[in-house]
Amino acid sequence: MLDKGIRIDAFVTSTAKRAMQTSAYFIKAYKRPTDELIQKDELYHAPASTYEEVLSSLPDQYESAAIFGHNPGITAFVNSLTPTRIDNMPTCGIFAVEIEADRWADFSSAPKKFLFFDAPKLG
């Protein structure tokens, strides 16, 4: 992400141990304090609609966000964003999209553009 010049303003994570560990790794790589993690209990075993609701409720001070969660909900969520589909969102997988919106409240209806998909095991 850093090598691609991707800026992350908000780090939003499930409170489950594995998601917290993964998000802590990312926030450390971005040299941000761990107390900036936005923890959301509702992301644990959440359906795709919950991911959308969480992002739609972010304060507009954030221009970008990374969300850390679990399957099968996270895979369903990323597959709902653009025509690009993946079979499974792997651990530490990144599905990056760009949205055309000025407010997070408009996330659901905002046009979205697929940027890239990456994961450690992809090489």
Q: What is the pTM of this model?
A: 0.92
Strand segments, DSSP code E, in the chain are 10-14, 38-40, 65-68, 94-99, 112-118
For CA atoms 79, 45, 117, 38, the dihedral sign is: positive
Instruction: Give, for all 123 residues of the chain, the pLDDT tens digit.
Output: 888 899 999 999 999 999 999 999 999 999 999 899 999 999 999 999 999 999 999 999 999 999 999 999 999 999 999 999 999 999 889 999 999 999 999 999 999 999 999 988 876
